[in-house]
Structure 1
Amino acid sequence: MILETAVLNVKPGLTEAFEHNFSKASAIISGMQGYIRHELNRCLEDDHQYILLVEWETLEDHTIGFRQSVEYQEWKALLHHFYDPFPIVQHYVKAEG
């Protein structure tokens, strides 16, 4: 299992529209091959910052299967214009021990 993380800084004044669009985008990502689950959490200290956590079966399910898909273009159109700066996406695996 791979955990994708992204800190999302939404432009001030757009959080309500972002959350609305994210609910639409959730249907897109949840239908992708290798998708396990995701969650979006809003920061308490900075109300226009979110953290997105997505679990994938493999790294390639995200980096190739999702990001190179037609569905990703719809995801991008729904969400990418909300971010400033654009998020850095990182991937994690469970540590041994």
Structure 2
Amino acid sequence: MIQEMAHIEIVPGKYAEFEAAVTQVVPLFNRAPGCAEVKLHRIMEQPNRYVLIVRWNSLEDHTVRFRQSDDFQEWRRLVGPYFQKPPEVVHTEIAVE
């Protein structure tokens, strides 16, 4: 299991619209092969910054299967207009529990 963490900066004042768009696209993630969970976190100290956290069974489930899908294109179409800059995406795995 790996975790995708997408750090997203939103155009100021568009928070409600962005969150509504993400609500619309959560089902795209949920039906993606290898997706185990998706959550959107708002950074309290910086209200225009979010972290999208998605748990995938493998790195390829995200970087190949999802990113090459029509659902990824729909995700970007719906939420992309709210990005102030391109998201910074990293993948993590548990090192210590």
What range describes the TM-score normalised by the shorter chain of this pair? over 0.9
The 2-side partners of 1:38 and 1:27 are apart by 9
Superposed CA RMSD: 1.0
Match of 1:47 in 2: 47
> Which residue identity lines up with residue 15 of structure 2 in the other structure?
T
Q: TM-score, normalised by structure 1?
A: 0.95
Q: TM-score, normalised by structure 2?
A: 0.95
| Count of aligned pairs between the two proteins | 97
> Which residue identity lines up with residue 84 of structure 1 in the other structure?
Q
Q: How does 1:53-92 map to 2 (within 5 A)?
A: 53-92=53-92
Unaligned 5+ segments in structure 2 are none
> Which residue identity lines up with residue 77 of structure 1 in the other structure?
R
The 1-side partners of 2:13 and 2:96 are apart by 42
Secondary structure of 2:8's partner?
strand
Match of 2:3 in 1: 3
Match of 2:15 in 1: 15
**Per-residue deviation at 1:34?**
0.1
**Per-residue deviation at 1:63?**
0.5
**Per-residue deviation at 1:96?**
4.4
Identity %: 34
The 2-side partners of 1:93 and 1:65 are apart by 19
Unaligned 5+ segments in structure 1 are none
Give 4+ residue runs of structure 1 displaced > 3 Å after superposition.
none
- CA 95–84 in structure 1, closer or farther in 2 if over 3 Å, else same: same
